[in-house]
Every structure is written in structure tokens, then in C-alpha cells.
Chains A and B, each alone.
Chain A
Amino acid sequence: MSDVVEKTLSALPSLLSLDSQPGAGKLSSTSKLGNLIRGITELTSKHEEEKLIIKELASIKEQVASPNTTMRQMKEAMVRAIYCEMLGYQAPFSYIHAVKLAQQGSVLEKRVGYLAVSLFLNESDEFLLLLVNTVLKDLQSTSLMEVCMALTAVSQVFPRDMIPSVLPLVEEKLTHPKEIIRRKAVLALYKFYLIAPNQVQHIHSKFRKALCDKDPGVMTASLHIYLQLVKESPESYKDLTESFVTILRQVLAGKLPMDFNYHSVPAPWLQIQLLRILAHLGKEDQSTSEMMYDVLEESLRRAEMNHNITYAILYECVKSIYTVFPKAELLEKAAKCIGNFVQSPKINLKYLGLKALTYVVTQDANLALPHQMTIIECLDHSDIIIKRATLDLLFRITNAQNVAVIVEKMLAFLRLCTDEYCTVDLVGKVAELAEKYPFIKAKPGS
């Protein structure tokens, strides 16, 4: 290319940056946000930072209140306000303008408005009522982006009392042709269920439809809901056991599209959800548990590779096996798995192994026996979290023979403990043990 073209190309960007309104979303070097951030990073003391932010907030306040400010400038000011709030400085004067931005702005301005609203406001804020109409309008928009934004907004911050007004529109989205909209609608409804369960009672049949959705993404989203529902009342969902088992079987057999693979493991997060749901369903119920033994065994067998995510599946599998109605061979395999975790040099696995052991020794205290040496080593581990997990485990396997030693270890740990929650927890445990074994004499000096 000739010199002239080269020179023009290099000159243009700096010519562009003289425009105070950043074009096409790029943060130009002279934008107000850029200046603010640069200003802050140059400062060394908190006091100076405070002064600068207070000045900045005054400038933002003036800008948002001025009738001459364009939506574009408002958008820019809002991002600065978000930044200040993140650092801990309140900008309450901008809240109403955030709502207005979501209401009146173009798609990009709306996006910032919705973001600001979800960060600034909470459910009980009055301004939120003004947002309801905007949400209603956007839910009916032909623009996918606007529908998505509205669904995200209702799941982040929405007044409880206004749920009935948006409910029909969100429900309608469950049958939208676009998969992403159906998925977001499912999660939005789940959020509604969590904050106002009686509003959402009548649509459980729609959840079932979502579970059978042709798109695995939507089905996965519905599992969030089912995990909660099954946890709350497993009896009502026993009829779905067969469906969950079938889904898991298909996932393990590789029936899902390749996109759902993560490091060659088919849909690991989905497997984890299913394993948890099955655990709740099979608890203390022999017939239901029998429906899932083979798929549990298959999961255990398949998750043999060495990646974090397969360990995650193994852990869930082991917990499920110990939660459902017991089956000897499965328990044996699971116990072996726990052993591998506890002995692992990988510290995250060791931690999970200890947690798993703590969970299973309530059923069978002997499971901890083969790992005694490792447990003792863990007591003196350099990582305080491992130490705590070990003490938790020991608490559950105390008997008349070892209680004195265990309490002594707990007291020694207490002396080093600085965390309030940890201290309270341990003191409670020690007190409980003292009550349980009142005649064991503590060693002198402890």
C-alpha cells in the first residue's frame, strides 16, 4: 500500500477519538470512563480515591439530571455509575435514570439500563414497579435480544407481587421456536418458583414438557427445577424416575450431540444433576432404587478418566450410591472410589474424599478404618481446610476409646482458630462430645 494510505490509516483512529461519544462501543482513549479509571489507578491512598469519586459522582449527577443529555450520553454515564457503585460509593440519583434507559433507549442503551437496574436495585425498590411495563413490552418484542434481556431481568430482580402480571408472557416463551428463549424462560420460571412458589403451582405440567424438550439444553435447565422439587417432596415425582434413568443412560451412551461434550465427557454437569435427583428419589425406597442400580454402576464405571470433571461425577455417584437403598456390590465399588480420593495427592480430591467419608461413616463407621493413617496425616496437613474437614470426620467416628484423643486435637485446633464460625462450630462439637461421654477423663493440661 502506498504511503498516503498508510498514513491515513494510522491517523484515523486518533481523529476518531476526539469524538466524546465512543462509537461502536469501543472505549476511546479520551472517554470519561477511561479517564476515571486511569485517574483512580494513579492514586495511592483511599482518601484521594474518595475525593476523586465524589467529584465524579457529582459530575454524573449533573449529567443525568440535565434534560439535554442524550440517551447515548446517559448510557455512558450509567457505566460510570456502575463502576463507582462497584467500588462502594453509592449513586442513588442514577437509579431512576437506569430504569428510564431500559424503557426508552435503543437496544444497546436498554442493555446497559437493564444491567444497571439489576445491579443497583433490589426486589423491594419502588422504582422497580416502573420497570414492569418495560419488561412486559420487551417480552412481546420481535427482537430476540430484547426478549432475552427481559427474561434475564425478571430472573435477577423483579418485585414478587408483580409476578402474576408477567407470568403468562413468560409461560408463553416455553414454546418459543428458539431454544435459548425456551431455556431462559425455564430458568426465569424456576426463579419465580423459588421466590413465590404458590404463583407457579399450576404450571408443573409445563415443566414436564420442558423435561422432554427436543433440545437437551432446555431439558438441562428443567433439571434445576426438578432437583428442587424432588428435594422438597420426592414422593410426588417417583413416577419420573424411569425418565431420569433413561436420560442418564442415553447421555452415558453418547446419544447427545458432540457439542455437549466437555473434555470428551458427555454433558458432565447434566450427569451431576441427574445423579443428585436420582439420589433423592431412591432414598429409603428399595423399589425405586432398584430401577437405578445399573445406571449408577455405569456412571461409576465410565468416569474413569483423569480430569476434574470426571472426579466431580464420581463424587456425585458415590454420594448417590450411599443415599439410595443400599446394594452391597455398588457400596463396595463406591468405597474403593472414596479410598482413591482420600489417598490422592491432589488436594481437592483429598478434601472431597474426606467429605465423602464424613457422609458415609454415618451409615457404616468401619469404612474409615482402612484410611486411619491417611486421616491422621491429614490432621497435621498444612492446609487449614483439610484439617477442619478431618476434624469433622473424626467427630463422626468418635467412640468411647478415641474420644479423649479427638477432643484434645479439637482443642488444639481451637487455640489456633481465628474464624468466628469455625470456633463456634468446634466448641459446639466439643460440648456435644463432653455430654455424650461424661466419664472419660481428659488428659491433664488440656
Chain B
Amino acid sequence: MIKAILIFNNHGKPRLIRFYEYFAEDLQQQIIRETFHLVSKRDDNVCNFLEGGSLIGGSDYKLIYRHYATLYFVFCVDSSESELGILDLIQVFVETLDKCFENVCELDLIFHMDKVHYILQEVVMGGMVLETNMNEIVGQVELQNRMEKSEGGFSAAPARAVSAVKNMNLPEMPRNINIGDINIKVPTLSPF
């Protein structure tokens, strides 16, 4: 079972926090701080697993983490999870974020933290791995996005009009129309 998923940046600022077991608020913050402390000490060429520690519930847990540019993705799991399996799951999650946000960066996670939660909910549910296929996860997220667009209602109309005009292919005005021998020159229209 996955006990917690933490995403924080190189300075320890939390970007997404999801606990699947209950911890009081101040204990949660302590866990975040200590996890950051443990993980930030690590070089880039050491193993991605950390274990032991009295933080989250005794000895039956490990921290599996990956470092991407400015962000640490840490999954805290118990012994029922496969270490390498979780490592790849983190990769799947990040690739999904990349697909959903188009070249995801830390800013996307900061400004759209709720969206990241919704995506995560399609990967891990209640601490259990729900889906490992990126296309399936993206599919579920797209369903929700479509619902968002249709729910937009009135206030979404201008935004949709803008994208509709942008996507419209205005045909090219032909300069000359050749119909047999008759050559009619089309006058140049003055700009609006």
C-alpha cells in the first residue's frame, strides 16, 4: 500500500501532499520536512530507495523517490509494494503530467495543484495503484476536461469564440479566376 505521496521542490517547498493514512497537520509538516531533509542529502548517483526511520509508522515502510530538475517525487510505501515497480510508477505519473500539461514544469504544479490531484486520483486510489497505463489515465482526465468545457456555460463562450476563430481556416482569395478565355481580374480589397 502507498502511505503517502509528496512532491516538493529543491528548497523543500511542498507542491503536492497526499496522505493515505491519517496524520495530524503538524505531524504531516514534520514528515514533509524530514523527508526533504533525507532526500536532499542524496547525490544523483545513489539508489532511489530509503528505508528505516521512525517517521511514518515504524519499520515497515520505505521511501522511493525520483528527482526531476527542480522537483522531488517521493512515494512512501510499505513492504507490499515492489520498489522498482513504484519507481516506474513515478515515471508513469510524471509522463502523464507531461501529457496533460504539455511540457510540464514546476509552475504548472503550483498554479494547478487541484488538477494534479485529479490526475493523481486516477493513478492511485485510497493508497492502491488503480491504473498504470498512461493513455488510460489521460483518457479519464480528458473526460473530466470535456465536462469542464461544457460546464463553462456563458462565461466560457468568449474563450470558445476566440479558439473557434483561431481554428477557422479563412480561404485564400484567388487573385485571378480563369474561366476559359475570359480573364477576370479580382480587384484588391482595401484592408478593414
Q: A residues within 8 Å of B by Cβ?
A: 1-5, 8-9, 12-13, 15-16, 19, 21, 23-27, 33-34, 37, 41, 79, 82-83, 85-88, 90, 106-108, 111-112, 115, 119, 122-123, 144-145, 151-152, 155-156, 180, 183-184, 187-188, 190-191, 217, 221, 224, 227-228, 259-260, 262, 268-269, 272, 276, 308-309, 311-312, 315-316, 347-348, 350-352, 382-383, 385-386, 388, 419-422, 425
Contact = CB atoms under 8 A, between A and B. Distances in A.
A13 B26 CA distance: 41
Interface of B: 14, 16-18, 20, 22, 25-26, 28-29, 43, 45-54, 59, 80, 82-85, 87-89, 92, 110-114, 117-118, 121, 125-133, 135-136, 140, 143-145, 147-149, 151-152, 155-156, 158-162, 165-166, 170, 191-192
Q: Is the interface of A mostly helix, strand, loop or mixed?
A: helix
A41 B145 CA distance: 28
A152 B121 contact: yes
Contacts of B133: 259-260, 262
Nearest to B134: A262
A108 B148 contact: yes
12 contacts: A12-B159, A88-B29, A119-B18, A123-B22, A187-B125, A187-B126, A311-B84, A348-B49, A350-B47, A352-B84, A421-B54, A421-B59
A347 B45 contact: yes
Contact of B114 (A87, A115, A191, A315): A115
Contact of A227 (B28, B45, B80): B80
Given A23-B155, A190-B128, A259-B133, 12 more contacts: A15-B158, A24-B155, A106-B151, A108-B151, A188-B126, A276-B80, A308-B88, A312-B82, A312-B88, A352-B84, A386-B47, A388-B52
Contacts of B130: 183-184, 187, 221
Contacts of A88: 25-26, 28-29
Which among B84, B112, B131, B135 has the highest number of chain A CB atoms within 10 Å? B84
A27 B49 contact: no
A191 B53 CA distance: 26
B159 A24 contact: yes
A347 B45 CA distance: 8
A224 B78 CA distance: 14
Contact of A155 (B111, B126, B158, B165): B126
A19 B153 CA distance: 14
Nearest to A315: B84
B84 A27 contact: no
Given A309-B84, A348-B49, A152 B158 contact: no
Contact of B25 (A1, A90, A188): A90
Contacts of A269: 82, 85, 89, 129, 132
Nearest to B149: A24
A215 to B, nearest CB: 12
B52 A9 contact: no
Given A82-B113, A348-B47, A145 B144 contact: yes
Contact of A85 (B20, B25, B158, B159): B25
Contact of B148 (A12, A24, A268, A316): A24
A240 B109 CA distance: 44
Nearest to A88: B29
Nearest to B89: A269
B83 A421 contact: no
Contacts of B152: 23-25
Pairs A-B, 5 closest by C-beta atoms: A155-B126, A312-B84, A23-B155, A24-B152, A122-B22
B46 A383 contact: yes
Given A9-B162, A351-B47, A83 B85 contact: no
B147 A107 contact: yes
Nearest to B21: A122
Contacts of B160: 24
Contacts of A383: 43, 46-47
Contacts of A188: 125-126
Given A27-B111, A107-B147, A316-B82, A348 B48 contact: yes
A155 to B, nearest CB: 3
Given A259-B133, A308-B88, A83 B126 contact: no
A111 B49 CA distance: 34
Contacts of A386: 46-47
A272 B82 contact: yes
A215 B59 CA distance: 36
A156 B126 contact: yes
B66 to A, nearest CB: 11
Given A26-B159, A82-B114, A115-B114, A425 B52 contact: yes
Contact of A385 (B20, B22, B47, B114): B47
B111 A37 contact: yes
Nearest to A111: B118
B46 A347 contact: yes
A2 B191 contact: yes
